[in-house]
A and B are shown apart, each in its own frame.
Chain A
Amino acid sequence: MFGILGPNGSGKTTLLGVVMDVLKANSGSFLWFSRHGTSEQRKKIGSLLETPNFYSYMSGSDNLRVTQAISGRGAKIDIDAVLKKVNLYDRRWAPFKSFSLGMKQRLAIAAALLGNPKVMVLDEPTNGLDPVGIAEIRQLIVELREQGHTIIMASHLLDEVEKVCTHAAILKNGHLITTGEVEDIMMDDDDVVEVSAADLNALAAVLSKLGKEIVTDEKNHTVQITLPRGSARLDEINRFCFDNGIVLSQLVLKKKRLEARFFELTNN
């Protein structure tokens, strides 16, 4: 599951538009299934690009028949199944123009799910959904990931990408800033361990024997110690403190949140 991140105007939707052949690239190339992109390959990909695009005078079910006719993904019987999956089955005969923004988004996700494609491209899939809808779609995406689907998802919701993506790329002004596993992107250069005990000053003194960068946060009643990347062993720190007469009430290896890392990388 690959997340594409970037501030507004960084080129997330443009990138997906190019690989789905609705936009023409000035340069560069891409491969789908190890081949140059063609319409036949796009038929195998379930896509939701930017906004849900459907015929307003047609019902949700009829719109999915058009999707099915063009892509060849799934059969007529699968249309009802995907409508049930996104909770639109009861409104399947209502015209698209009567749908709320959230329902339109659900229909677009249903269209992408049609025929259970192995690869999916989702651009802001939770756009316009209420909190319950966001949680449902996030759960659906996690299920798809666990079933082995490859999902490429563009989002500006960092929390969303952090929770569901395994890999990510960060774009800025059309340029790739970084890419890799989400865990690696979030990692700073050093490990930061946050600890707490009854006597903060004593704790800071003991920890100063392990590393030089010690920061005491009186407000949160914690001490942070910075260690070289990959060298923090929590069990050893715990034992070291205990052997020096300190009983820890908190011990955690702090990861940088993707949000913080994103701001660092994009200089925002």
Chain B
Amino acid sequence: MKFMKALIYTEWLKMRKYNAFWWIMGITTLSYPGINFIFHFVYQQIVQQQSQTGQMAKILLGNPFSFPEAWHTVAYFSSWFVFIPAVVVIMLITNEYGFKTHRQNIIDGWSRNQFLSSKLIDVMLITLIITLLYSVISFVTGNLNQERLIKSTWEQVHYVGLFALQTFSQLSLAFFIGFLVRKAFIALGIFIFYFFPFEPIIVALLKEYGNDSGRFLPLEISDRLIPRPAFLAKLDEAGYKESLNAIPQHVLYTLLLTGVVWGVCFWVNKRRDLK
């Protein structure tokens, strides 16, 4: 525990004066509620129409922003923005290579495993912050849209865990790219290009022509922890249920992939020269 505290304290010393970190975390804090507010606003615009179409939409869609569905809906929309904290994660590791402080930290007395553990803690802490942010947004959104008192407020609260696992897994992949590539802009370029559009296109193509084998691609593995919310899947109820049933498998795949990613990082870091 003392060892963990020392690592966290040292990482805090590095982050507290790093303006880019605070700027990007600020953007994250605005973008997560922002995207949910936009979709909520669009939903309100549709269902508040007095026309027959508006009323039909209200019946068909229900209220995805009320409990218990709010946990799922907010998780789904928020997960689109994981690339913003991913920028922070990539910067935190590539900075060490840019400044050559990955060498200095070892010279000063950290073991190679301690250095990487400090970065693992960074990714965990950022995941925790993002998950807390998502949880607050879900809770507030659900309460604001609650028309009557229901017992099922916490029914889908397991999406908090799924969101945390998805965020941690995808931030770990961002870290992995930064760790291997070492150059900030190249790593950012690769991650953003892979995040969008490369993998989504490959997943769509494989869904059509490859027996849906795209579900095993690195980001898609954890993307399927949070399937499309129920209101977006009204036209394909069977597909929606199938995606819900696949969640436990994808929890396992995600844990495996994330474990392998960090395992490779520790293995490589232990063996390579720190230049």
Complex contacts, A42 vs chain B, CB 8 Å: 106-109
Which of B6, B9, B107, B109 contacts A22 (CB under 8 A)?
B107
Top 9 A-B residue pairs of the complex, sorted by shortest distance between their CB atoms: A43-B109, A39-B111, A53-B104, A53-B100, A22-B274, A70-B108, A69-B10, A71-B109, A71-B108
A70–B251 Cα distance when bound, in Å, is 36
User: CB of B228 within 8 A of chain A?
Assistant: no
Known: A24-B273, A39-B114, A62-B17. Contact between A70 and B100, CB under 8 A?
no
Q: What's the Cα separation between A198 and B103 when bound, in Å? A: 62
CB of A53 within 8 A of CB of B109, answer: no
Q: List 7 A-B contacts (CB under 8 A).
A: A22-B274, A40-B109, A47-B108, A55-B17, A58-B17, A59-B17, A70-B110
Q: Judging by beta carbons under 8 Å apart, are B18 and A57 in contact? A: yes
Q: How many chain A residues touch the partner (CB < 8 A)?
A: 30
Q: Of residues 16 to 48 in A, which have CB atoms within 8 Å of B's CB atoms?
A: 17, 20-24, 38-40, 42-43, 47
Complex: how many Å from CA A24 to CA B9? 29
Q: In the bound complex, what is the Cα–Cα distance between A69 and B104 (angstroms)?
A: 13
B interface: dominant SS: helix
Q: Decide yes or no: A24 and B271 within 8 Å by CB, A62-B17, A69-B9 being known contacts.
A: yes
Q: In the complex, what residues of A have CB within 8 A of residue B13's CB?
A: 62, 65-66, 69
- CB-CB under 8 A from B18, the residues of chain A are 55, 57
Within 1-22 of B, Cβ neighbours of A (below 8 Å) are at 6, 9-10, 13-14, 17-19
A residues in contact with B273, CB < 8 Å: 17, 22-24
**A72–B273 alpha-carbon span in the complex (Å):** 25
Interface check B99, CB cutoff 8 A = yes
Query: Of residues 96 to 132 in B, which have CB atoms within 8 Å of A's CB atoms?
Result: 99-101, 103-112, 114
Count how many chain B residues have C-beta atoms less than 8 Å from C-beta atoms of the other chain: 27
> Is the C-beta of A110 less than 8 angstroms from some C-beta in chain B?
no
Q: Give the Cβ gap from A20 to chain B, nearest Cβ, in Å.
A: 5
On whether the beta carbons of A54 and B105 are closer than 8 Å, the reply is: no
Contact call B10/A70, Cβ cutoff below 8 A: yes
Interface residue? B79 (CB, 8 A): no
What is the minimal beta-carbon distance from B46 to any residue of chain A, in angstroms?
Answer: 47
- Contact present for A51 and B114 (CB under 8 Å): no
**Is B108 a contact partner of A55 (Cβ separation < 8 A)?**
no
Q: Which B residues are CB-close (under 8 A) to A24?
A: 271-273
Q: B10 contacts A55, CB within 8 Å?
A: no
A1 contacts partner chain B, Cβ-Cβ < 8 Å? no
Q: Smallest distance from the beta carbon of A65 to chain B beta carbons, Å? A: 6
Q: Does B153 sit at the interface, judged by CB under 8 A?
A: no
Chain A residues closer than 8 Å to B108, beta-carbon distance: 42-43, 47, 67, 70-71, 111
A23/B107 in contact, CB under 8 A: no
Give A1 Cβ to nearest chain B Cβ, in Å: 20
From B19, B100, B106, give the contact of A20 (CB < 8 A): B106
Q: Which residues from A are CB-within-8-Å of B95?
A: 55
Q: Name A54's contact: one of B6, B10, B101, B274 (CB within 8 Å).
A: B101
